[in-house]
Amino acid sequence: MIGRLFRVSIFGESHGKGIGALIEGCPPGIPLSEDYVAEELSRRRPGNPLTSPRREEDWPEILSGVFRGRTTGGPILIFIRNRDVDSSFYEEIRNKPRPGHADYVARVKYWGFNDYRGGGHISGRLTAGVVAAGAVAKRLLDMFGIRVYSYVTQIGNVSADIEPVDGEEFRKMIYSSPVRCPSPSVAEEMVKELRKAMAEGDSLGGVVTATVFNLPIGLGEPPMDGLDSDLAKVLISIPGAKGVEFGKGFGLAGMRGSEAIDPWVLNDGRVTAASNNMGGVNGGISNGMPLLVKVAFKPTSTIMRKVPTVDLEAMRETIIKGRGRHDPCIAIRAVPVVEAYVSIVVADHLLRWLAWQPVRSRILGD
């Protein structure tokens, strides 16, 4: 489960009856419809030659927690049926674990009772439930003017230095790109790089960046539930994610303190930071600057090449070749997933921060 006040659980299997999310702690009265959730899910659904050919409708059924277009305050259960399932490849290789995937470790951990089709409950397919829950969180954040944007800033060796802008025009630029990069010239180079890898039966890694605008100062519950630490935990849980950094991240290790600090300055009588090397978080607490976090994704492990593995039934080394429906670059379809997870964590910390405000007013008299 994610969160303390705004709580989210996801469930299901890649090739089972369906997947979904349970959202608890959402305040009543928030506008929410299946159409809105479906629109958010459409951002994750494949739809171009650079993504998986699996064609799921991904229509969300809101089974509880919404009445007459508004949340009731009760648990919200959203179910998404799996309709385009092909398990033939997984039946063929059930005793030949795919390198780079969790096939073998899951078999050992769950004593062979795991659903091996498409990764079962460890599959990236479950991120559709994350996006559905993120849609609810975004509705809550909208009421406070807090907006979250995610976009691709690297595929393979092609990277972009993007300056995010708060506005729907920026979001349109992201989703008009086949690789979800808002820089058209860089996106074109990314496409070339990816097509080359695909032609060679290979895959590429990538980086997804998320920016949050209009966060108040004070979100985060250090030492253990800091805003950045909670974000890091959920973001690294996305299948294929292998690294998370905030602001300059690992680049800070090569800087001097005089370069890295974000000096406090006065701007129209308001204290603000002159730079944002820390990514909008100090000591686990939001500092009023845009939150900036990056997630690095490994190349897709299933590739259309022969790779070595072990036949667990015959207990001998063997070779398998990837087949089926897989994304040549995970990062592209991870964009709305990163956005959803960031929205969920921020919504939870927003509610926790708001819970203090009546007490603050009593004590400080403001």
Q: Is the pLDDT of residue 163 over 80?
A: yes
Tens digits of residue pLDDT in 50-74: 776 656 788 999 999 999 999 999 9
Can you tell me the mean pLDDT for 11-39?
96
Instruction: Please tell me the predicted confidence (pLDDT) of residue 53.
Output: 62
Using an 8 Å Cβ cutoff, are 124 and 8 in contact? no
Q: Is the pLDDT of residue 313 over 70?
A: yes
Q: How confident is the model at residue 22 (pLDDT cuts 50, 70, 90)?
A: very high
Mean pLDDT of the chain: 94
Rounded Cα distance, 92 and 335, in Å: 32
Q: How confident is the model at residue 325 (pLDDT cuts 50, 70, 90)?
A: low
Q: Which of 53-62, 99-108, 116-125 bottoms out in mean pLDDT, i.e. has the lowest?
A: 53-62
List domains and CATH numbers for the chain.
Answer: 7-364 (3.60.150.10)
Instruction: Please tell me the predicted confidence (pLDDT) of residue 84.
Output: 79
Q: Is the pLDDT of residue 279 over 90?
A: yes
C-alpha closest to that of 164 among 151, 175, 146: 151
Instruction: Please tell me the predicted confidence (pLDDT) of residue 24.
Output: 98
Q: How confident is the model at residue 365 (pLDDT cuts 50, 70, 90)?
A: confident
Instruction: Please tell me the predicted confidence (pLDDT) of residue 363.
Output: 94
Rounded to 5, what percent of the chain is helix, strand, coil?
A: 35, 25, 40
Using an 8 Å Cβ cutoff, are 300 and 203 in contact? yes
Q: How far is CA 64 from the centre of its chain?
A: 24
Q: Sheet of 147-155: strands edge to edge?
A: 158-159, 147-155, 206-213, 291-297, 241-246
Rounded Cα distance, 136 and 130, in Å: 10
C-alpha closest to that of 343 among 23, 66, 35: 23
Q: How confident is the model at residue 185 (pLDDT cuts 50, 70, 90)?
A: very high
Task: List the alpha helices (DSSP H) in 96-183.
Answer: 103-109, 127-142, 168-175
Q: Is the pLDDT of residue 38 over 90?
A: yes
Tens digits of residue pLDDT in 123-150: 999 999 999 999 999 999 999 999 999 9
C-alpha closest to that of 80 among 126, 138, 114: 126
For a pLDDT cut of 70, what percent of the chain falls above it? 97
pTM passes above 0.85: yes
Instruction: Please tell me the predicted confidence (pLDDT) of residue 54.
Output: 58
Tokens at residue 329, please?
């670059």
Write the CB contacts of 141 (distance below 8 Å, at least 6 apart in sequence): 147, 148, 343, 346, 347, 350
Q: How confident is the model at residue 91 (pLDDT cuts 50, 70, 90)?
A: confident
Q: How confident is the model at residue 83 (pLDDT cuts 50, 70, 90)?
A: confident
Q: What is the DSSP letter of 290?
A: P
Mode of pairing for the β-strands spanning 66-67 and 70-71: antiparallel
Instruction: Please tell me the predicted confidence (pLDDT) of residue 11.
Output: 97
User: Which residue in the block uniquely carries the two structure tokens 């277009």?
Assistant: 69
Q: Is the pLDDT of residue 49 over 70?
A: no
